[in-house]
Amino acid sequence: MEKPLTANIHLDQEPLTLGAYERVGGYKAVRKIFTMSPQKVQEVVKASNLRGRGGAGFPTGQKWSIVPMGPAARRPKYLVVNADEMEPGTFKDRLLLENDPHGLIEGIIASAYAIEAEQALIFIRWEYKFAIRQLTRAIAEAYKNHYLGTNILGSGYTLDLRIHASAGRYMCGEETGLLNALEGKRATPRAKPPFPQVVGLYGKPTVVNNVETIACIPHIVNNGATWFKALSKSADSGTKLYGVSGRVKKPGLWELPMGTTIREILVEHAGGMQEGFAFRGVIPGGASTDILAKDHLDVKMDFDSVLKAGSRLGTGTMIVLDDKTCPVGFVHNLIKFFARESCGWCTPCRDGLPWLEKILNSLEDGTGQPGDIEILDDHCKLLGPGNTFCALAPGAMEPLQSALKYFREDFNRHIQEKKCPWK
């Protein structure tokens, strides 16, 4: 089967130099886009059915179509790559950033061209030092070979690309928090509408896309929408980087057809559970997605199938909960993360998450009180979608509400037995 995202990645070697990348067909898509109008590039991406790989799964072609085009549009327009991978359990963009920088650069050029952007930025984790070095080297090579800068390959198209390293905080990965961080402010969110495509960075039209999403673009341009759809096993198109962490025999990352089942990923690729550990549940797509249980092992890992099962595909990197790990402790760790990362802007998140952390801590300590579980239940609604300024708190409620659904007895036992049964 074809694996376009990882075709040029050989972990035992250095990433391809620009010359080597060109020799295996790299930058062909850049030459091709200059024979098409930006609208035509948008059309093929829309037809491909590509959905965002950053967690939300919004159709990419549709996102781009909201950008005002033509001479009346405000300038400069920006293409921003969200390389601030920090969703717990997620480690897929790192692979692309460290090992195929030219693949990302090519995707950036094609995407920026499609929205008539003159400026592109990669917003990357401070902690991804190795990736920053690889990208810096590759960008310099691209400039030297006229793939970036003024009048790219004589096309008349000009694009400048810069790297901006984050200084920490999960909220920098939120689309509008990211824009505020780029503007030198605290990474608090902005109200939408207006959407960044219309009013974004410095008030100008801006598209923010995930690394893996952008990495798909050159392949869609080169091979077409039908080809991209045929790679998949479901209604969603393309391939997907799927990952597994936790007590499995072979934690790792694999490029597979979109719609591969949870069972196939866990058993055939991750080798199943380690000796002495049994499966209790799995978070399918990073910390802010609902836990799925044993009944869901045959669910296809695509956006609609996972939604139907009661969760979200998110980033597609799974975290396995084993039977030797306390579900209350599991959720406590996640809520601790979300509470710490709250930007403080809105009350339900800023005040609700620490309260939940306190309750979960006392459950673990054996000092939980009757009525505590009901408070947790209430918060799942109070911090749910529509009640907060951004999706951080609603995301935090996903593992909590699903843990209360599937492991409620375990929560009750902490109160009844006045201790954690796993300790």
Site of interaction with another protein (CB under 8 A): 85-91, 93-94, 125-130, 162, 164-170, 181-187, 202, 243-247, 251-253, 287, 317, 319, 322, 325, 329-330, 333-334, 336-337, 340-341, 343
The distance of closest approach from Cβ of residue 415 to another protein in the complex, given in angstroms and rounded to an integer, is 23
Indicate the residue among 145 and 325 with the shorter CB distance to another protein: 325
Angle among Cα 232, 54, 94 to the nearest 5 degrees reads: 95
Q: Round the CA-based radius of gyration of the chain to a whole number and report it.
A: 22
Give the whole-angstrom CA distance, residue 177 versus residue 65: 22
Strand, coil or helix: 35: coil
* Sign for the pseudo-dihedral over CA of 100, 270, 57, 394: negative
The distance of closest approach from Cβ of residue 141 to another protein in the complex, given in angstroms and rounded to an integer, is 20
Indicate the residue among 243 and 368 with the shorter CB distance to another protein: 243
Q: Could you count the other beta carbons within 10 Å of the beta carbon of residue 192?
A: 12
The distance of closest approach from Cβ of residue 383 to another protein in the complex, given in angstroms and rounded to an integer, is 19
Amino acid at 160: D
Indicate the residue among 274 and 387 with the shorter CB distance to another protein: 274
The distance of closest approach from Cβ of residue 252 to another protein in the complex, given in angstroms and rounded to an integer, is 5
The distance of closest approach from Cβ of residue 209 to another protein in the complex, given in angstroms and rounded to an integer, is 18
Give the whole-angstrom CA distance, residue 185 versus residue 167: 12
The residue among 54, 51, 119 whose CA lies nearest residue 83 is: 54
The distance of closest approach from Cβ of residue 348 to another protein in the complex, given in angstroms and rounded to an integer, is 20
Contact criterion met (CB below 8 Å) for 211 and 85: yes
Give the whole-angstrom CA distance, residue 266 versus residue 252: 10
The distance of closest approach from Cβ of residue 345 to another protein in the complex, given in angstroms and rounded to an integer, is 11
Indicate the residue among 26 and 316 with the shorter CB distance to another protein: 316
* Sign for the pseudo-dihedral over CA of 300, 305, 307, 310: negative
Give the whole-angstrom CA distance, residue 260 versus residue 265: 7
The distance of closest approach from Cβ of residue 130 to another protein in the complex, given in angstroms and rounded to an integer, is 7
Indicate the residue among 96 and 225 with the shorter CB distance to another protein: 96
Indicate the residue among 44 and 291 with the shorter CB distance to another protein: 291
Indicate the residue among 333 and 362 with the shorter CB distance to another protein: 333
| Residue 390, token pair as written in the block | 């951004």
Q: Which residues pair with 78 in a beta bridge?
A: 119, 206
The DSSP line for 140-155 is HHHHHTTSSBSSGGGS
Indicate the residue among 184 and 386 with the shorter CB distance to another protein: 184
Strand, coil or helix: 200: coil
